Amino acid sequence: MAAQRKYSRNAFLLKAAALAAVAALVQGCAQTPAGTTTALAATPSEASVAAHVATATRAAGTDLKALLTLCQPAPAARPPQDALDKSLAGFINRPAPPPGQAFDNLYFVGADWVSAWAIKTSQGIILIDALNTQAEAASLIEGGMRKLGLDPAQIKYVIVTHGHGDHYGGAGYLAQKYRARVVMSEADWTMTETRLEFATPIWGAPPRRDISAKDGDRITLGDTSVTLYLTPGHTMGTLSPVFDVSAGGRKHRAMLWGGTGFNFGKDVPRLDAYIGATQRMGAIAQSQRIDVLLSNHSNIDGSQAKLAALRQQPAPAANPFVLGTPAVERALAVMGGCAQAQRDRFLL
Ligand SMILES: [Zn+2]
């Protein structure tokens, strides 16, 4: 769930209160070439929070500001059921954007606030995420694929990035209809089978346990391999897929960050895991020259605006989804810096 935007009201108050301390503390953070920070201050304080926010803000530059919603204070508790149902209904009722093609082999078939991505391979389709409900899977995934000239019967795998219903809600339906294999991490299979972190009748039921992915596992279909990295934090079993895409015959490498928001309440070990995951994936982005960063929520990666740009004639010379490796590393530094700020807020 992208819960961050709901909790934005206090952000500026907090920033203002801490502003005076920023200048001193910013100097106390060691900055790596990739822009990640290591807190030198042992004791969390208003000043250390502000320093992490300042570092994340610097890493965001002018192009990655959307990610800074993550630096706004997160709630100490998960939303109550009625608040969750109400906000979800609002999200789901928004008109869906048109489906679109981001790369030669990558298609967007999502809703307004949550995305699903279809990777076309030589032997069928790998779908990443399955939206909120069976109805959305039918209208937006199946319907969207048909509009784009793709056959939903070719869906062989559904990778569910994490065990929240906005990503798995339509998975059971697609699995049953097309005999698609459903992939999720062991931790999130267990979570969906035992105690859902977020439960609402609005979402489709969790899919039946199928393939349990471990860190580094590959899903290979025809000419395409998707490597699944365990990036715990948003859930403890969040998977971030990494795969090749091409634009106009040029190859690029994409990472889809599998879970972004801090909507789990006051849970410092989770934030520690999140910080570690962003640092590790920053190193992987550098070593694998990952130059495309995608999300399963379009407010994070700006996918709707980018798809709209690609629909224009003539098409833009440069594919707007290609950020370049330094920007992907900065994005991970922003997310990690915001996680460090939130960790310190919880420890104050
Ligand atoms: Zn989620």
- For residue 322, the CA-to-ligand 1 centroid distance in Å is 25
| 3-state class (DSSP) for residue 307 | helix
User: What is the per-residue pLDDT for 19?
Assistant: 32
Examine the pLDDT at 22 and tell me if it is beyond 80. Answer: no
CA distances from 260 to 41, 124, 245 (A): 25, 28, 22
Output the CA 266–ligand 1 centroid distance in Å: 16
Q: Which residues are paired to 100 by β-bridges?
A: 108
Residue 46, CB-side half-sphere exposure with 13 Å CA sphere: 10
Give the distance (Å) from ligand 1 centre to CA of residue 200.
13
For residue 104, the surrounding DSSP H or E stretch is none
Mean pLDDT, residues 267-288 taken together = 98
User: How far is the centre of ligand 1, averaged over its atoms, from the C-alpha of 331 (Å)?
Assistant: 19
pTM above 0.85, yes or no: yes
d(Cα 127, Cα 163) in Å, to the nearest integer? 16
User: For residues 169 and 201, is the Cβ–Cβ distance under 8 A?
Assistant: no
Task: Please tell me the predicted confidence (pLDDT) of residue 11.
Answer: 37
Q: What is the pLDDT of residues 289-347, one digit of tens each?
A: 999 999 999 999 999 999 999 999 898 889 999 999 999 999 999 999 999 999 999 99
CB 74, CB 337: distance < 8 Å: no
Confidence of residue 42 (pLDDT cuts 50, 70, 90): low
Q: Separation of 335 CA from ligand 1 center, angstroms?
A: 15
Describe the strand order of the beta sheet including 292-295 as a list of residue ranges. 217-221, 224-230, 239-247, 250-257, 292-295
pLDDT tens for residues 221-269?
999 999 999 999 999 999 999 999 999 889 999 999 999 999 999 999 9
321 C-alpha to center of ligand 1: Å? 22
Look at 211 and 24; give whichever has higher pLDDT.
211
Distance 153 CA to ligand 1 centre (A): 27
242 C-alpha to ligand 1 centroid (Å): 19
Return the pLDDT at 79.
84
Give the three-class secondary structure for 185: strand
**Closest to 116 (Cα-Cα) out of 63, 69, 155, 68:** 155
Expressed in angstroms and rounded, the spacing between residue 162 Cα and the centre of ligand 1 is 7
Average pLDDT of the segment spanning 57-79: 95
